[in-house]
Structure 1
Amino acid sequence: MTNQILSKNMRFRLVFSLYLNYIIHGFGLIILAQNMTTLSDYWSTSLKMVSFVISGIGIGRLLAYLITGYLSDKLSRKFFVYLGMACYLFFAIGIVSTKSIIFAYFCAILAGIANSALDAGTYTTLVELNDGNGQATVLIKAFVSVGEFILPLLIAAIHGANLWFGWSFISMVVLLILNAILLIPLKFPQPYQNEKNTQEKIEQRQQSNLGRIIATGALVLYGYTSMALMIWFTQWITLFGEKVAGFNTTQAHLLLSLYSVGSILGVLCLYIFLNRNISEGPILIIMNILATLALGIILLSHTPLLSHIASLLFGFSAAGGIMQTGLTVFMKLYPTRRGFVTGIFYFFGAIASFTEPLISGALSDISIQVALGGDFFVGLIGICLVTVINFASRQAFEM
């Protein structure tokens, strides 16, 4: 089956279901953290143990990304989308039906596997729906943000109505079941056979291409830095505002809220740029420079207005889809191994999510300013990497 056979109606329904999964994924990313106190009481344990359970998500990602990415090129993309949904379904039901920390940790690992399986099946599908172009993958970040925006409001409403906390998890279950039903009749695209043969010949001719080798190494490292740049900021920015800049509680928390608003605006702008066939390389360079500049302003200004503007700019540039754009470049280098490179790229992102708290935590022993300042250093490395990616990938594509 080729992409041409997919009707506009089927394409729309497929894209809708794929994006709906990432609203659910937005729930899954924060649902344990948003229910920490309640889960602590429910499991009769400490907040520290609940935090330990949450760390299982990162372990699940590390265990699964390389495997799901590799196998998604061998098996059906649809299978991995369903696998991700099934793991999230088991996670949501399991968390509210157990009082065992060990079983809860296993469920959290499943959530990490769900993340990797969804990525392996979805990013590749969206690229193949658009004949190798990756602008549709950028919007994934926006739908994740929508999920992260809705869930806290839902939990607040449940708490305000004195309802069982588990209804927030049940909402995930209901959405997953409905979406699974919607996906049953839908067929996923396959790359054009003639395009596949052409791309295999291109890859064979590029085996000794130095530019391709350098771009690959830089992209793998960028999978780490692009993830670290975001999570480093979100972990420390509020504390920095309160403890270092001397902001009041509202001003300090507004920094993170503006970051979230900026990320959604960034996704929309990046989607427009890529839809107009603007090259990914220059976009990556500009966005990484803006993100690092914004961090520098926050670290040095210590004034609410400048810091709030800079936080909005940082969200726009660092969390507006530049990680997904980097993955698009990676998939263009390896068009017949899209699932595998997705797995590699996000595997290094998972390493970042696991190691960043350890690194920044150690830096915080010196000071909160040094802890956040480490993110500035990551930004500088990111600028170097995307500059290398831009020039090396151009060389790789020259035949």
Structure 2
Amino acid sequence: MTKRLYIDVHILQSVPPSNLNRDDSGTPKQAVFGGAKRARVSSQAWKRATRLAYAQDVPEAERATRTKRISELLAGRLRGTEGLSAEQADRLAAALASGLGVAKSAKKEDQSAYLLFFGKRQLDSIVGLLDGRARELAELDDKKLQEEIKKLPVAQQLSSGHPAEVALFGRMVADLPSLNVDASVQVAHALSTHAVQTEFDYYTAVDDENIEDFGAGMIGTVEFNSATLYRYATLGGHQLHENLTDTDATADTAARFVDAFTRSIPSGHQNSFAHRTLPHLVLVTLRTDQPVNLVSAYERPIQSRSGIAEESIKRLAEEVTATAETWGAAPALTLATYAPVGAAQDKAEAAFGPSMPFPQLTERVRTVVAHWLASGEVR
């Protein structure tokens, strides 16, 4: 049996009045859980925020991109590295893109029918297949050009050498399974630990140049809520290693994912609300059996008029303990970062262990993953 390692990340984070992730009518997303309406932030929104946070410290050449414009990107490289004219580059790029076997957009011939997620270095590998023959190929007629491109392993260049972002979040190409990459990360929808009500901010804007009357230049409303959110993601160390193949890269990517997921936040209406906060608690549980989402700690919504975070931490500590005792599902290792939590301190320390500075936690994730890859042991 293949050895497995699941890195579960549990986060409790309070956000002030905000609209992190809205639906098609502009309302903050919600969900009913435990019979109560909760604030919700979709997994897609937080995955994108995490991916952007992860990429901030990645060299441009090592980053990934998600786009329909792969032909346009290839053409840019052909103009820059092969010295082709714009017309020659566009034609050759279209031929290379066709070599992937990806369906074209019905509306725009120079775009794919769907978004592709790939590494920028993988594009360089596709261009590298030309081996200095770019000008020669660009002068061929359409039929001969397609015949020459079919001889090149274009699709294989997107099937290996994945950047960390693709290795983490995966790639799905429905009509070309050979390009699929199994994601090593799963992200849950963030839910408030308590019931919420949506509120409305009525705002006006003044026309600075209006000296004729005192009316507003614009009037509107924006919906918002505030919440203490339970956030959860799990990273399969074994799948990450399969995608990246390199041991050091796997350990480094795992640690950096935990950092990016923790520090990221969706940007919806951020200029209006300045909602960026840091968590009350980051709990990392490493397991070798299966991932465990602990949202059931909040199936009964918290009710309080004197703060939510402390009770949320207490509930999570109780859930960790109960899950281990009831199901025999104790983590192989637990790491945590949290501030002093008042009356919940004893329960927090018993369930999570002592708090450590967050940079130390991410470094421990790195060393634990590296050791597991080398020995199969979690310690």
- Asked if TM exceeds 0.5, the reply is no
- Indicate the structure with greater helix content: 1
Larger radius of gyration: 2
State the TM-score, normalizing by the size of structure 2: 0.29
- Structure with bigger strand share is 2
